[in-house]
Structure 1
Amino acid sequence: MKIHEDNALGALGSAIGRGLLAGLAATAAMTLSQMIEMKITKRESSNAPVKVAKETAGIAPASPEEKPKLNQEIHWSYGTAWGVARGLIGLTGLKGLPATLIHFGAVWGTSLVMLPKHNAAKPIDEQEPKEIAIDALHHGVYALATGLVYDALDAGSRRERKLRKVANDLKTLIAKFK
């Protein structure tokens, strides 16, 4: 049985799967970055995920004691899901820094619009430069980690092998003419 090599649905599924894994790893990196920063700055944990979830989906903790747990569940789910966007970017053929910058812009840009809209953060023009820098740092850690993991998972793809073969064939051809 011959498998069709240009399977668009298979490529989409693979990109989404790699994106989810990359998003999960990046959420872990961002969480670690936030934990270190909060220890240094003495900043309290944000409850933005719960605020947005309550306003947009009607999701609320069953009790005040459940709030931190729900906040973390939403944080991890949201961060993991944003990995899908990186997978879709990967389908365009972009990788490395260009793909990471696009992903960073999408993730942080959404945060800058969505959180103030749902009263989970001040608009950027009302924040102190230090707050903006910290937020950009954490979202940068997220985007960078997503990109590194995604590109590592994608390195053995059929498209990558095909490009390597073309490059090697080209090198061989050039060597013959020298």
Structure 2
Amino acid sequence: MKNRNQQTDHRLEDVQADIARVATGIGIGIVAGLVGTAVMTAAQMIEMKFSGRKSSDTPYKAVKKTFGVEAQSKEDKELITNAAHIAYGTTWGVPRGLMAVFGADGAVATTTHFGAVWGTELSLLPAMDVMEPVTTWKPKAIAEDAMFHGVYAIATGITADILAKWLKEAEGNN
């Protein structure tokens, strides 16, 4: 039978291991979110080149409404838009990184992540009055937006899953 000190030491080790896994998941998520954002942005840039569509200023509107930041020029507005887009995508990588580290991976985790990311956009941004509700969009716009968020979720998920797998394999070799 274990004595009290051994039980306390074991619980402390478990807590430390859980903290390390959370920190690892956050780090993996940041990297995966950056990759997903880069891939999504590249897909959007390609689509805009062929369609002639201008980039969205919705991220700027959300930052302006949330933080009261006012762009002084067109360049400032574009900078704020891009920074918000990158920060948002990077941040959304964190839950996917945590899923991968704690064993939720593959298509199920990626689909869950996609639903959370796109669902948040479709509900939060209209509630903030910075975007029209999806019910007013044309079917093509809905399909394109879903596709871009799908590209993001897939790229983020693949990256998170690979990094978590590499880490687990590296731990197994130690």
Instruction: Provide TM-score, normalisation by structure 2.
Output: 0.85
Does residue 1:18 correspond to 2:25, yes or no? no
Match of 1:114 in 2: 124
Q: 2:108 aligns to what SS in structure 1?
A: helix
Q: How does 1:41-52 map to 2 (within 5 A)?
A: 41-52=51-62
Match of 2:8 in 1: none
Q: How does 1:105-144 map to 2 (within 5 A)?
A: 105-144=115-154
More displaced stretch, 53-62 vs 141-150: 53-62
Q: Is the 8 A contact 1:51 1:118 kept in 2?
A: no
Q: 2:56 aligns to what SS in structure 1?
A: coil
Alpha-carbon deviation of 1:38? Answer: 1.0
Q: For 1:161 and 1:10, how far apart are their aligned partners in 2?
A: 12
Q: Is the 8 A contact 2:21 2:102 kept in 1?
A: no
Alpha-carbon deviation of 1:91? Answer: 4.2
Q: For 1:79 and 1:60, how far apart are their aligned partners in 2?
A: 22
Q: 1:36 aligns to what SS in structure 2?
A: helix
Q: Deviations over 1:13-49 (max 9, x none)?
A: 0000000000000000000010011112211100000
Given candidates 98, 111, 120, the residue that maps to 1:88 is 98
Given candidates 81, 87, 96, the residue that maps to 1:77 is 87
Alpha-carbon deviation of 1:159? Answer: 8.0
Structure 1 unmatched ranges of 5 or more = 163-178
Q: For 2:170 and 2:143, how far apart are their aligned partners in 1?
A: 36
Match of 1:27 in 2: 37
Alpha-carbon deviation of 1:88? Answer: 2.5
Structure 2 unmatched ranges of 5 or more = 1-12
Alpha-carbon deviation of 1:87? Answer: 1.8
Aligned AA (1:36)? I
Q: Is the 8 A contact 1:86 1:150 kept in 2?
A: yes
Q: How many residues align?
A: 160
Q: For 1:90 and 1:65, how far apart are their aligned partners in 2?
A: 38
Does residue 1:37 correspond to 2:51, yes or no? no
RMSD over aligned CA atoms reads 2.0
Aligned AA (1:16)? I
Alpha-carbon deviation of 1:7? Answer: 0.6
Distance 1:91 1:158, change over 3 A: closer
Q: For 1:64 and 1:22, how far apart are their aligned partners in 2?
A: 30
Does residue 1:155 correspond to 2:155, yes or no? no
Aligned AA (1:76)? I
Instruction: Provide TM-score, normalisation by structure 1.
Output: 0.83
Q: For 2:81 and 2:115, how far apart are their aligned partners in 1?
A: 24
Match of 1:168 in 2: none
